[in-house]
A and B are shown apart, each in its own frame.
Chain A
Amino acid sequence: MKKQSNSHWFVVVALVALALPVTTLNAQGGRGGGGGVGNNPAPTSPVTGNAANGKPLYFSYGCYACHGYNGETGARPFVGRWGNLATEDGFIRFLRGRANVAPITPSTSMPNFGEGSLPDKQAKDIYAYIRTFKSSAPELKDIPTLNTIIDASKQEKK
């Protein structure tokens, strides 16, 4: 049975705010997952964790749940945005920022990741893995399916 109380839907809608700002949905859609393709360059700040160790942790700690397996999809994609992921320290500060305050103010629905549940070493490994992510999005002109959809929309409707 799904829960549909307002508080839960708030979680659904607002889940996880790693990458800001959120892309605005188009006027006629209103709904639709993902946030589009970000264009910000990837960070170049130092990385001290181990990406190979971070890969299973990204999965087991459920990062993929809201950011997709590749950081490009889901409620809050971060590839091409980066935001709070600009530096390793910033990332960990963001994880810990509300470890003892639930929910954090200002509000965010990103789960708390206190050091008791996600130690610094693992957090740095996850960060190292995240930093390996790259956009898999081709240019729009190179995706025939999407161009077919756009072309079809240009036909006058009766």
Chain B
Amino acid sequence: MAKSQKTSVGRRGFLKNAAAGAAALVTTTPLVEAQGQSTATGAAPAGGAPAPTQAQLAREAGNVRPPLAVRSITRPGSDLMVQTIRDLGIEFVAANPGSSFEGLQESFINYGNPPNQMPEFITALHEESAVTMAHGYAKAEGKPMVALLHGTIGIQHGAMAIYNAYHDRVPILMIAGNDPDFIAAHTAHDMAGMVRSFTKWDAQPKTLDEALRAIQRAYNEAITPPMAPTLVVLDSELQKDNAGSATVPPYKPPQFVTVDAAHAKEIAKGLVEAQNPRIAVGRLRTPEGVKRAVELAELVGASTSTAAANGPMSFPQRHPLCGPGADTAYDYTLGLEAAGAQASITGPALAKIAAPRDPGNIGFGGLGGGGGRGGRGGGANAAAPIEADAEASLPLIIEEVKRQLTADQKTRIQERAAKHARANHEARVAAITQAAESKRAGWNGVPISTARLYSELWPLIMNEDWCLSSPSGFSGGHNVQLWDHNKPYSCLGGQGAGGMGYGAPASVGAALAARGRNRIVVNIQCDGDLNYAPGVLWTAVHHKLPVLTVMHNNRAWHQEFMFVEYMAGVRGRGEDRAYIGSTLRDPYIDYAKMAAGYGMAGEGPITDPSKLSAALKRGVTAVKRGDPYLIDVITQPR
């Protein structure tokens, strides 16, 4: 690292000065002795990193005071790092503190006018929560925020969440500190190595200029298909040293791979000339992609399918053209991030980048192409997918469609669209009526049916701008049938890799996106999932996030309970012992009290179904006011 000895306030120098300064002020021997040890090299145990010295531990514990006179740094490198992040339009950075990024943290909270905005520092209580917040935010907004991680230990705390996000193809810009001159256990020559198998790109730059460019590159890599978390490791000296004459390099947005002109023309021709075209829409990248998909469907009067009830960024579920339409004999199908159509445009698969970055083969062999997370085109004569970004390709196709459409075709398309709209409307009313009929099963049963929970909640939010941030599969998935998933962020879907501890922090991330946009977030929270890192409830309160948490409290990791019960049955013994290790009994957990402990308003446990609706109303009222709220509902298992 090129650095000026004159301007450097390195760790060792700091500790040395600190020792002198503190010794001058304090005469009690323990501190002086602790300082004295700071210059000693920690003895490395055989085969391992040296343990921290007493001085280092004292420093971590905050027992070392700053020196009386330190060199003033007025333009630290970390200011430029924050400016780079700000220029990328990043709204939030989530972290719990770590000494390896203290320079950067100081810039996040103090640099700029006004400071601590774009991005705003969000206080997490666990790195897993910080990364999962970024996961939920990205799914709601279609763009990354920053998760800031402490060197080595913070990355390992966040690893599970990174793994989820990677599998879910979610862009997150992660930054980790590295502090080579301080605690050896918090440093690494190849910091990203421990999570390289499930990050898309990483860098550990050696100069400030490289660091700034690495942040820009990491952002671009994260948002380019296949989207995934990326990681930049920033040495503490780069953060704290004077930036000198360095400036933020000009930013170049990424280039997205699109269909070529010939493909665009051919697809447009297929849609325009078809008597009954269909567009299957999987998961696009951003809300802009959804807008373009709607524009194309309306231009050509195509019936559409959607993945909007299972995840974000797909076609509005209740759009008049969404559904089977008036005629299910489709003669041309286009798949947008959905395989199996006559023309399927799907982004590159994660497996392509996993191969060189995952030498341990920890589970990405089965990852498929873009269709894996989207719908199926379902058309006859399915062709091999075109590997391109569907969202970036849409403007080309739309332009070509507009060029090809004749007045007669426009008239025919309008008539067809009207027929589809009528048919879809009738089908929708019939389907919801049938679904409602089915949901009355167990309506007055105790404990409360999950169907009733989703049913009671829907009328309270249907006229709001809402986001269902949690996976709903474990709680019955009743929203799929009853609710209208019409916005890109209506339903954020599952965890990605099935890692638990996801719902609450992802919801906090979604609520970061919602705050200030007059949107509310609903989190149907599984009880087992919440207990991984419940401290994120505090984050919701601290930052005044509009998230309503409704506990699906079945007092178990219920899926696992059923697995174990089944296994006992196979072996012909002890189904009555399946609860061991898979249920949350003796004692039951009181989630309203847990929320109260973190400062969150709430109520429960509620077991009487007749009391549910009023509680939900109180909760919706609170979050519309901007106050997070938790309702503990004791439910049927599923």
> Which A residues form the contact surface with B (CB < 8 A)?
1-4, 8, 11-12, 15, 23, 25-37, 57, 60-62, 64-66, 68-70, 72-75, 77, 80, 99-100, 102-103, 109-114, 116-118, 135-140, 143, 145-150, 152-154, 156-158
Q: Which of B436, B498, B636 contacts A68 (CB 8 A)?
A: B636
Distance (whole angstroms) from the CB of B638 to the closest CB of chain A:
5
**Contact of A112 with B561 at beta-carbon distance under 8 Å, contacts A32-B435, A69-B446 already known:** no
State which of B318, B433, B473 has its C-beta within 8 Å of the C-beta of A150. Answer: B433
Bound-state Cα–Cα, A8 to B444, Å:
31
**CB < 8 Å: which of A26, A28, A31 contacts B473?**
A31
**In whole angstroms, how far apart are the Cα atoms of A30 and B305 in the complex?**
13
Produce 1/0 per residue, B597-626, CB < 8 A to A: 000000000000000010000000000000
The 3 A-B residue pairs whose C-beta atoms are closest, nearest first, are A111-B569, A33-B476, A29-B481
Is B637 close to A, CB under 8 A?
Answer: yes
Pull 5 A–B residue pairs with CB atoms less than 8 Å apart, ordered by A.
Answer: A30-B480, A57-B576, A62-B575, A68-B636, A70-B445
A73 touches B636 (CB 8 A): yes
Q: Do residues B572 and A117 form an inter-chain contact, with CB atoms below 8 A? A: yes
Residue interface mask B435-476, A partner, CB < 8 A = 1: 111111111111101110001101100100000000001011
Report A-chain residues with C-beta under 8 Å of the C-beta of B427.
Answer: 27-28
Q: Does B340 lie at the interface of the complex (its beta carbon under 8 Å from any beta carbon of A)?
A: no
Which listed residue, B438, B559, B570, B572, touches A36 by the CB 8 Å rule? B438
For residue B425, CB closer than 8 A to chain A, the reply is yes
Asked if B565 is an interface residue, CB under 8 A from chain A, the answer is: yes
A37 contacts B500, CB within 8 Å? no
CB distance from B471 to the nearest CB of A (A): 10
Q: Are B318 and A157 in contact (CB under 8 A)?
A: yes
Are B437 and A62 in contact, CB atoms less than 8 angstroms apart? no
Chain A residues positioned under 8 Å from B481 (CB to CB):
25-26, 28-32
B500 close to A1 (CB less than 8 A): yes
Are A137 and B575 touching (Cβ within 8 A)? Answer: no
Instruction: Establish whether residues B477 and A111, one from each chain, have CB atoms under 8 Å apart when the complex forms.
Output: no
CA distance A80 to B442 in the complex (A): 11
Interchain CA distance A15-B444 in the complex, whole Å:
24
| Set B431, B436, B462, B563: member contacting A140, Cβ < 8 A | B436
Give the distance to chain A from B479, nearest Cβ to Cβ, in Å.
8
Instruction: Report Cα–Cα, A31/B451, bound state, in Å.
Output: 12
Query: Is there an interface contact between A61 and B459, defined as CB atoms closer than 8 Å?
Result: no
Tell me the dominant secondary structure on chain B's binding face.
Answer: helix
| Count of B interface residues, CB-CB < 8 Å | 72
Task: Return chain B residues, CB-CB under 8 Å to A30.
Answer: 309, 480-481
Interface string of B565-582 (1 = CB under 8 A from A): 110111011111011000
B residues contacting A by CB (< 8 A) are: 309-310, 318-320, 323-324, 425, 427-447, 449-451, 455-456, 458-459, 462, 473, 475-478, 480-482, 484, 486, 498-500, 558-563, 565-566, 568-570, 572-576, 578-579, 613, 636-638
Using A118-B575, A136-B445, A152-B459 as known contacts, say yes or no to A2 and B436 having CB atoms under 8 A apart: no
Interface core residue of B429, B431, B447, B566 (most chain A CB under 10 Å): B566
Pick the residue among B324, B449, B482 that contacts A73 (CB under 8 A).
B449
Contacting B436 at CB < 8 Å: which of A23, A33, A113, A146? A146
Q: How far is it, in angstroms, between the C-alpha of A137 and the C-alpha of B562 when the chains are bound?
A: 26
Question: Which one of B319, B439, B442, B486 contacts A70 once the chains associate, using CB atoms below 8 Å?
Answer: B442
Interface contacts beyond A31-B473, A99-B572, A152-B459: sample of 16 additional A-B pairs, CB < 8 Å, sorted by A: A32-B435, A34-B438, A37-B437, A37-B440, A60-B579, A68-B449, A68-B637, A68-B638, A72-B445, A73-B637, A77-B442, A111-B565, A136-B444, A138-B444, A150-B429, A150-B433
- Give the interface centre of B323, B456, B565 by most chain A CB atoms within 10 Å: B565
Measured between beta carbons, the chain A residues less than 8 angstroms from B323 are 28
Give the chain B neighbours of A28 by CB distance below 8 A: 323, 427-428, 431-432, 481
Bound-state CA distance A67–B624 (Å) is 36
A65 to chain B, nearest CB (A): 5
Q: Nearest B residue to A137 by beta-carbon distance?
A: B440
Residue of B nearest to A77 (CB): B441
State the CA gap A24–B368 with chains docked (Å). Answer: 30
Residue of A nearest to B499 (CB): A1
Which residues of the other chain, A, contact B578 by a CB distance below 8 angstroms?
62
